[in-house]
């Protein structure tokens, strides 16, 4: 199964930490010798445990080299990034409004952004001529297309690091995105759930690093994070919204009662994230393992005459198999996908499922 973005490379390190820190999962205050089970079993603050929100804020800071500060009071906890993205759509747009999304993009956005919110997705078509970078002209074309469809554009959402490209946005690219949303007076949502999984240069740059000291500009910026990818804990359903917009934070918190994180999970992960020495080692070792696995896959494909887009982050390789297509169209792409599935027993996702307009690209995870 190479179509599932699940990081199992470093779960052994987390298992060892839990074995050495049983108090985290047993709800036992080791220093005081008392159980906090009774407290956790009762209703907690719907905003989340203060200790956990603070731990998440500190962890997000560390992933950005402590170059920025995150206020725990501006964090909204959700049951995974799926819920976080959907919640933001409810807060920022009305049914029938639109968000621009650069291609290729995560197929789950169709579910996360549209199904229950009624928000439309307008693709910003990027191509291989410039390594699928997001250009001003591509953004303008998408914005114009939305207007032609009588859609009101409420925002732009990007994944940084990219799912499925495995690339990171430069400071220049981030500044261009910020300038575009300011010009159009729309929102910018940065989904950064792979921000701790950058395994090679260039380093990860967050939109938070380049925000000016201007509250009016910051009001339009929102960050989504999760522990599913960087820690390999998708089953724990930990997501978070960080917004510079106080109204968005207040609204999202009111709605977050429908997608809360269990108190027991928050308690355990508060202890984990607060072990700074372990977390620094874990992130470093996980990045090393990702780098080694990435090199192994890319070199193996190269031996078979197949190249990949140069990438440095996440769990992806964006594989170029255009030369293997039986016909240069989506039908040819799906035929090749079926052949790989039938003959090799490998399920790798075709680029068309990521709304890529160039047939022949595949996402291997």
Give the CA dihedral 174, 177, 183, 187, nearest 10 degrees. Answer: -100
pLDDT of residue 166: 97
pLDDT of residue 4: 66
- Whether residue 160 contacts residue 104, with contact meaning beta carbons closer than 8 Å, is answered with no
pLDDT of residue 229: 94
CA separation (Å) from 283 to 26, 201, 310? 25, 15, 22
Catalytic residue check, 193:
yes
Catalytic: which of 56, 105, 106, 194? 106
- Residue at token pair 């964006």: 318
Q: Could you tell me which of 117, 120, 134, 186 has the C-alpha nearest to residue 155? A: 186
- Whether residue 240 contacts residue 210, with contact meaning beta carbons closer than 8 Å, is answered with no
pLDDT of residue 38: 73
Gyration radius of the chain's alpha carbons: 21
Beta bridge partners of 313: 198
CB neighbours of 122 closer than 8 A, spacing ≥ 6?
98, 99, 100, 101, 142, 143, 145, 146, 149, 151, 153
Q: Which segments of the chain have a pLDDT < 50?
A: none
| 120-124 β-sheet, strand order | 75-78, 239-243, 221-226, 187-191, 153-159, 98-102, 120-124
Catalytic: which of 56, 134, 157, 193? 193
- Whether residue 364 contacts residue 350, with contact meaning beta carbons closer than 8 Å, is answered with no
Catalytic residue check, 45:
no
Q: How far apart are CA 123 and CA 327, in angstroms?
A: 24
Alpha helix positions (H), 168-305: 171-184, 207-210, 215-218, 246-255, 263-273, 276-303
Q: How far apart are CA 133 and CA 26, in angstroms?
A: 47
- Residue at token pair 């680029």: 351
Q: Return the DSSP state at 198.
A: B
Q: Which domains does the chain have, with CATH numbers?
A: 23-277 (3.40.640.10), 279-364 (3.90.1150.10)
CA separation (Å) from 205 to 20, 52, 176, 179, 261? 34, 24, 14, 16, 28
Catalytic: which of 56, 143, 223, 229? 229
| Global confidence as pTM | 0.93
CB atoms within 10 A of CB 334: 15
Q: How far apart are CA 175 and CA 235, in angstroms?
A: 35
pLDDT of residue 27: 60
Q: How far apart are CA 192 and CA 227, in angstroms?
A: 10
Q: How far apart are CA 165 and CA 288, in angstroms?
A: 19
Catalytic residue check, 54:
no
Catalytic: which of 112, 191, 230, 320? 191
pLDDT of residue 34: 60
- Residue at token pair 């407290």: 39
pLDDT of residue 37: 76
What is the distance of C-alpha 265 from the center of its chain?
20
Alpha helix positions (H), 46-122: 50-63, 81-92, 109
């Amino acid at each position: 199964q190479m179509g599932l973005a699940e990081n199992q490379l470093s779960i052994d390190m987390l298992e060892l930490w839990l074995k050495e820190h049983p108090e985290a999962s047993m709800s036992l205050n080791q220093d005081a010798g008392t159980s906090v089970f009774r407290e956790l079993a009762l209703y907690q603050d719907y905003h989340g445990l203060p200790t956990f929100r603070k731990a998440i804020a500190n962890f997000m800071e560390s992933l950005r080299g402590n170059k920025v500060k995150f206020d725990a009071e501006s964090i909204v906890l959700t049951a995974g990034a799926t819920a976080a993205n959907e919640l933001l759509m409810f807060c920022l747009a009305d049914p029938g409004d639109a968000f621009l999304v650069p291609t290729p993009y995560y197929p789950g956005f169709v579910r996360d952004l549209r199904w229950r919110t009624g928000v439309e997705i307008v693709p910003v078509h990027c191509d291989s001529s410039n390594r699928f970078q997001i250009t001003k002209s591509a953004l303008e074309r998408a914005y114009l297309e939305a207007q032609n469809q009588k859609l009101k554009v409420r925002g732009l959402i990007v994944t940084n690091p990219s799912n499925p490209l495995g690339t990171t946005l430069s400071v220049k690219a981030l500044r261009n995105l910020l300038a575009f949303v300011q010009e159009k007076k729309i929102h910018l949502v940065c989904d950064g759930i792979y921000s701790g999984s950058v395994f090679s240069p260039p380093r990860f740059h967050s939109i938070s690093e380049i925000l000016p000291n201007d509250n009016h500009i910051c009001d339009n910026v929102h960050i989504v994070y999760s522990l599913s990818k960087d820690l390999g804990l998708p089953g724990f359903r930990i997501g978070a919204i960080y917004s510079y917009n106080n109204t968005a934070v207040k609204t999202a918190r009111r709605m977050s009662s429908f997608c809360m994180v269990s108190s027991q999970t928050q308690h355990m992960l508060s202890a984990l994230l607060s072990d700074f020495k372990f977390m620094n080692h874990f992130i470093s070792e996980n990045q090393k393992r990702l780098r080694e696995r990435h090199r192994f896959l890319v070199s193996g494909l190269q031996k078979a005459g197949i190249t990949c887009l140069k990438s440095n982050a996440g769990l992806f390789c964006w594989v170029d198999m255009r030369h293997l297509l039986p016909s240069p169209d989506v039908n040819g792409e799906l035929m090749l996908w079926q052949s790989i599935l039938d003959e090799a027993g490998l399920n790798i996702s075709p680029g068309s499922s990521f709304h890529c307009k160039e047939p022949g690209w595949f996402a291997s995870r």
